[in-house]
Structure 1
Amino acid sequence: MRRILTILIILLVCQTSLPALAGVDREKLKKGIQAYEQEQWDEALNRFQDALLDDPENPQLHFNIGAAQYKKQKYEDALKSFEKAILTRDIKLQQHAYYNQGNVFYQMNQYPEAIQAYKKALDLNPGDQDAKFNLELVRAKLKEQAQKQQQQDQQQQRIEPSEYAKQLKAQAEILVAQRLYREAYDLMQQGLQSDPTVAAFQDFITRVKDVIDIGGSQ
């Protein structure tokens, strides 16, 4: 995801002058920002949480806490923090919170949830090119995931031939080598009636039948 760091830094810096932070100890916030910019995630988180004690419902502080939690890969906690930030009346902050929720969901491989978060971010800011980029990226990931699951399901559905079926095919291959296509085909058909796993060699049976149909039987 290509924008998470840039957005968080911009918001953190801008927040030092927001009226909504009037009840917050600015020194605590400043130290949290400095720690964050120095990639001292534990220190930043501690500072932001300490500042939150002054204003427990402040959405900007919850956003900052979510940012630090994200960097610490505490994704479940980050989701909760961004959810609280979304309650803000500040549309810009709300849009960024939805965007970052999308990033968190992406890291957790929860692609449908990430898509919904990016869509909400775009509802608030249709011109957000990064949100559009990430939305398409996640959609591609979801499609890839579905394709892999389909392949796995198909593999599970593949028939495992029994030893009898394997021996029967070996006999049929000998007949094919002798150009006794009809005999090989009949042998496999008879085997199908007594052992359903002979169907694992359906491609072989079909090829023999094709040879017979074009006049190759003896």
Structure 2
Amino acid sequence: MKYVLAIFLALVIDPGKIARVNNAKTEARKAYTSGDYKKALEKYRFLADSMGVREDEVMLNLAHSYFQTNDTAQAISTYQSLIGSGKTEVRSKARQQLGILHHRQGKMEEALADFKQAVKADANNMDARYNYEMLKRKLEDKKKQDEKNNKKKPEPSAYAKKLKAQADALVKQFRFGEASILMNEGAKQDPTVQHYEDFMKRLQDVDQINRPK
């Protein structure tokens, strides 16, 4: 019985295959570490596709290799296959990388959600936490700026339009300082002059540049 079992195990566990797998893992890891991502990708694809090795670590490194060789579609697909991993570190890293890729594609909300899930999976993933906090702050600042920009500017009164025409005439004479003073003083009397706030800001900037040092 023991003899039969030994034969069965020998058939199931191919020592030659194990050696080839281990050798490929070593070569893939060495290539990736040395920055030869093309060779690393070749080795990890060999492990996954030809040798049927679907271990989380191998698949994660395969995804990293796709990432490093700028194969975005394959990288995303491979990382997505790992977000359900039972290993929190693998799941967290996959989510983190998805966040980076989505950020590159301009999908900011998706990227933020990915970074958040990466932190939830592994609270010790400091890179994901940093990316989440930075992107969250960036999106909040953008939202505030958009809200500010979308505020409807007051329609200029007849007085404000007349003042703008006078300022334009001064600008044509290169009298930027006088034009700036004119608009700013006018804004104190009539708030609708602020309709031209971009013009007023440019006047102020040009006047400061032209002032003698």
Whether these two folds match at TM > 0.5 is: yes
Cα deviation for residue 40 of structure 1 reads 1.1
Q: Residues of 1 paired with 2:149 and 2:74: CA distance?
A: 33
Cα offset, 1:24, TM superposition: 7.6
1:87 deviates by 3.0
Q: Which residue of 2 aligns with 1:87?
A: 84
Give the 5 Å matches for 1:44-83. Answer: 44-53=40-49, 54-55=51-52, 57-83=54-80
CA distance in 2, matches of 1:99, 1:136: 13
In structure 1, list runs of 5 or more residues that go unmatched. Answer: 1-21, 175-202, 211-218
Q: Secondary structure at the match of 2:140?
A: helix
Q: Are residues 1:40 and 2:36 paired?
A: yes
Aligned to 1:169: 162
Q: Which residue of 2 aligns with 1:114?
A: 111
Seq. identity, %:
16
Q: Post-superposition shift, 1:103?
A: 2.5
- The one-letter code of the counterpart of 1:135 is Y
Q: Deviations over 1:120-161 (max 9, x none)?
A: 12222223333222211111222344356556656xx77999
Residue 64 of structure 1 aligns to which amino acid in structure 2?
N
Answer yes or no: is the 8 Å Cα contact 2:84–2:91 preserved in 1: yes
Instruction: Classify the secondary structure of the residue corresponding to 2:64.
Output: helix
Structure 1: which amino acid aligns with 2:56? P
Q: 1:79 to 1:152 in 2, by over 3 A?
A: farther
| CA–CA distance in structure 2, aligned partners of residues 132 and 171 of structure 1 | 50
Over 3 Å counting, the alpha-carbon distance change for 1:145 and 1:77 in structure 2 is farther
What CA distance in whole angstroms lies between the structure 2 residues aligned with 1:43 and 1:160?
64
Q: Does 1:127 align with 2:120?
A: no
- Give the deviation of 1:204 after TM superposition: 8.8
Mind listing any 5+ residue stretches in structure 2 that lack a counterpart? 1-17, 168-183, 192-213
Q: TM-score, structure 1 length as denominator?
A: 0.56
Among 22, 25, 29, which residue is 1:26 paired with? 22
> How large is the Cα RMSD of the aligned pairs?
3.8
Partner of 2:175: none
CA offset digits 1:45-83 (Å, max 9, x no partner)? 111111112226443322111101211233332121111
Correspondence 1:142-181 to 2 at 5 A: 142-147=139-144, 149=146, 169=162, 173=166
- Hey, what's the Cα distance between the residues in 1 that align with 2:75 and 2:19? 23
SS at match of 1:127: coil
**Amino acid of the structure 2 residue aligned with 1:118:** F
Q: Which amino acid aligns with 1:123?
A: K
CA gap of 1:23–1:143, structure 2 versus 1, over 3 A, is farther
1:168-202 per-position Cα deviation (integer Å, ceiling 9, x unaligned): 6269749xxxxxxxxxxxxxxxxxxxxxxxxxxxx
Q: Give the equivalent residue in structure 2 for 1:103.
A: 100
The 8 Å contact of residues 28 and 39 in structure 2, kept in 1 or not, is answered as yes
Give the AA of the match of 1:45: L
Q: Secondary structure at the match of 1:47?
A: helix
Aligned residues: 157
Change in CA separation of 1:141 and 1:23 when aligned onto 2, cut-off 3 Å? farther
Normalised to the residue count of structure 2, the TM-score between the two structures is 0.57
CA distance in 1, matches of 2:85, 2:19: 16
